[in-house]
Structure formats: structure tokens, C-alpha cells
Amino acid sequence: MTIPPLPPGSTIGILGGGQLGRMLALAAAELGLRCHIYCPDPDSPAFDVAHRATCAPYEDESSLDQFVRSVDRVTYEFENVPHRTAAFLASRVLVLPSEKALRITQDRLHEKRFVTDLGFQTAQFLPIDNPEQLTQGLTTLGSPAILKTRRFGYDGKGQIKVSHGDDVEVAWQSIGKQNAILEAVVPFEMECSVVVARGSDGAMAAYDVTENQHENHILKISSVPARVLPTTADEARRIGTRIAEALDYVGVLAVELFVVRTSAGEHLLINEIAPRVHNSGHWTQDGCQVSQFEQHIRAIAGWPLGSAERHCDVEMINLLGDDIGQWASLAAEPNVALHLYGKHQARPGRKMGHVNRTKPQARRDR
Ligand code: AMP
């Protein structure tokens, strides 16, 4: 799919007004493009930095109608865009990444089947539609295993570890009695991710692989270079590239991966795909010539992709909840780039900002 490039001065509509939408809008502004943010939450950090904002439900067709009239293209900052909203907008304007990426990544079962069909590995999994299947699944996959809702899970929400002897009815109830999958627990050495961009002409740009550490299921630290073998880093980029091609994707996507080490060496299992810019790619703002945010805007605007080459080592640290109180001392540190999201309330675990701590490049993984 080759698309007409949007000239500077054009307006991009973004569904979702969180920090990802905010950083996309800032990157678009650098390229002379305007953004119109659409989000139902009046307290949306992206509203502060956009040319226009609409605060309305995603199901409100009259607001969507006005929104779509004011924009030249639409993209999104989160994968749970309701199907009807995406379809309504796509009938009027080009929406990128396309509906196929949303459809597959909104459902863990579809996503797992999609990547295994491409020949990649995931944790062993089974569809679970009732408590009886859960009991049976624990016997097949081993105990403990992880029960995850097929839809609307993020940052560890909508999932629970279940073991033999646990009350399966209680586990089933705790995830809201919804269609789910059961996953075997992966004995991973490390979690990492890869962020890739694909242009409408099929050009690809893959960033260096990032090593990720979580706290209470929320990303805390991402570092590059990741401490993986060069062959593993190559394989991660191949996975990201292949997935983007198979989705005929336009924009930035991230693939979260588990690194498993055995006597046979190091290999990767896919955890999940995010059809959007990703928290583990925030280091690119200060580590690369073209950040993931600018890259996404370039891709969906039909511009050439920029260089994804890394020019320094970076440790990205999320400022969660009260961590935001450290802003003054962080701002005084040399080699720290501070990115704050302008959120008013620092609830525990809420992503309030991040820092990129940079240092000269020690090693390149390609
Ligand atoms: P998810 O929401 O699927 O990304 O899961 C959140 C976190 O839970 C992951 O980043 C892992 O730390 C952990 N996790 C998820 N699935 C598995 C699994 N199958 N085996 C081991 N850990 C997992």
C-alpha cells in the first residue's frame, strides 16, 4: 500500500489522549504536522499539547463525525479501540495501522495463533471458556499456569496464576468469567522487546533490542543494549520485521519477548504484540536520531522512515506514582533527559513520566 504523503500543515487525528498520544503529538509538531486528539477522559495529558481536542465517548457518532471531518489521517495510541469506532472512521479517512492489526492484537488467542502460524514460538497455550476447561488445562500444561483474559488485559491486569488444588471457580470469577487463555509459565532469563517501524512502501526500520525489568507487572526500567547474544538480537529484529510484514503494517509496533536460556543456547518466545508505540521504546527519544514517535508519524503520514540507529547507551526509568516527586533532583543530573506527562494526580503505579539516562555507547549489537 503506497499512500499519498501528508504535507506539513496537515492534521493527524489520534485516538487516545494518554502519554503516548502526547508524545506522538509533540513529534508531529516537530514535523510541522498538527494533531487532533480524541479521548473520552477530560484529564488527558495529550490535550495540553495538541492543536485540537475532542473529549467524547468512542461510541459517539456525531463527535466522531466532526472529528473525522477535521483530520487528514487517523492513528491511535492504544490497541483497544472499539471495532465500530475504527470501522466508522476507516469508512471516511485512512486509518493506520489498519483494522487487521487491531483485530489480531485485541485478542490474545488470535494473536498467539497468528504468530505461531508464522513459525514463531510462544508459551504453550490453550483456549479456556469455562472452569472445567481450566481444570483440564492445568493437567495438560502443568501447574502453575497463567490464566489471561483474551481481551483488554494490560500491565498484568486480567490475569492470574492458577495451580492444581486452587478453586478454579474462584479463578474464573476473578477474571470476570470471560473467554480466556491458559499459558504455561515460561522459565525466562530476561524479558526484552523490539520496536520496529514499517513505511507504506514496505521499508523497515528496526531499533535495537531493549532489556526490560518490571515491578508489580508494570515496566520500570528498559535498557539498551540488552544483554543478549548478537544472534538473539538479530532474531528479535527478524521477528518484529516478519510480524509487521505479515500484518501489512504501516506504523510502529512493539513485540514483547521472553529470553530463554538452555544448554542448547538462547532463544526467544513471543509474549505479545503492541500495535503502537511502546513504553519500552521511550529510550529512542534520546538514543536515536529518529525516535519511535517521529518514526510512527513519518510512517502513517506516508513520509520516508528515518534512521533507527542508536548513538548512545540508554537506561529508561519510568517515574511511577510518587517517583514524580524526584523531578527537581533528576532535572539537575547531567546526562538525564526528563520527560514528564503533565498528569495531575500521582496514584500508585501511575506512569507520571520517565527519564532517559544516557552514556557513551559501549557496544553495538549489529
Ligand atoms: P502480559 O500482560 O501478558 O504482558 O504479562 C505481564 C507480565 O507477566 C509479563 O511481562 C511477564 O513478566 C509475566 N508473564 C506473562 N505471561 C507469562 C508466562 N507465560 N510465563 C511467565 N511470565 C509471564
pLDDT value at 265 more than 80: yes
Nearest to 167 by CA among 113, 122, 131: 131
Amino acid at 115: V
> Considering the chain, what is the average pLDDT of its residues?
96
- Which ligand 1 atom is nearest residue 186's CA? 20
Q: Is the CB of 123 under 6 A from ligand 1?
A: yes
When pLDDT is averaged across residues 289-301 and rounded to a whole number, the result is: 98
pLDDT of residue 27: 98
DSSP string, 307-363: ---B-SEEEEEEEEGGGGGGHHHHHHSTTEEEEE---S---TT-EEEEEEEEE----
pLDDT of residue 153: 73
Which three cell numbers, joined as nine digits, stand for 198? Answer: 514499517
Nearest CA to ligand 1 atom 12: 217
pLDDT of residue 1: 73
- Which ligand 1 atom is nearest residue 148's CA? 3
Nearest to 294 by CA among 76, 285, 79, 302: 285
pLDDT value at 6 more than 70: yes
Span 310-363, pLDDT tens digits: 999 999 999 999 999 999 999 999 999 999 999 999 999 999 999 999 999 886
Residue 348 CA to ligand 1 center (angstroms) comes to: 21
When pLDDT is averaged across residues 230-251 and rounded to a whole number, the result is: 97
Span 16-39, pLDDT tens digits: 999 999 999 999 999 999 999 999
Q: Is the CB of 4 under 6 A from ligand 1?
A: no
Span 164-173, pLDDT tens digits: 989 999 999 9
Span 63-72, pLDDT tens digits: 999 999 999 9
Nearest to 52 by CA among 88, 20, 13, 24: 13
When pLDDT is averaged across residues 269-292 and rounded to a whole number, the result is: 98
A 10 A CB-CB count for 81 gives 22
Residue 188 CA to ligand 1 center (angstroms) comes to: 10
Q: Is the CB of 111 under 6 A from ligand 1?
A: no
Helix (H) or strand (E) holding 79: none
Residue 64 CA to ligand 1 center (angstroms) comes to: 35
Residue 123 CA to ligand 1 center (angstroms) comes to: 10
Residue 271 CA to ligand 1 center (angstroms) comes to: 7
* Residue indicated by cell numbers 498467539: 112
Cα separation of 12 and 181, whole Å? 36
For residue 185, the 8-state DSSP code is: P
pLDDT value at 135 more than 90: yes
Q: Domains in the chain, start-ordered, CATH in brackets?
A: 11-95 (3.40.50.20), 124-184 (3.30.1490.20), 190-359 (3.30.470.20)
pLDDT of residue 75: 98
pLDDT of residue 157: 76
Beta carbons of 273 and 111 less than 8 angstroms apart? yes
A 10 A CB-CB count for 357 gives 20
Return the C-alpha torsion angle 91, 93, 99, 100, nearest 10.
100
- Which ligand 1 atom is nearest residue 154's CA? 2
pLDDT value at 155 more than 70: no
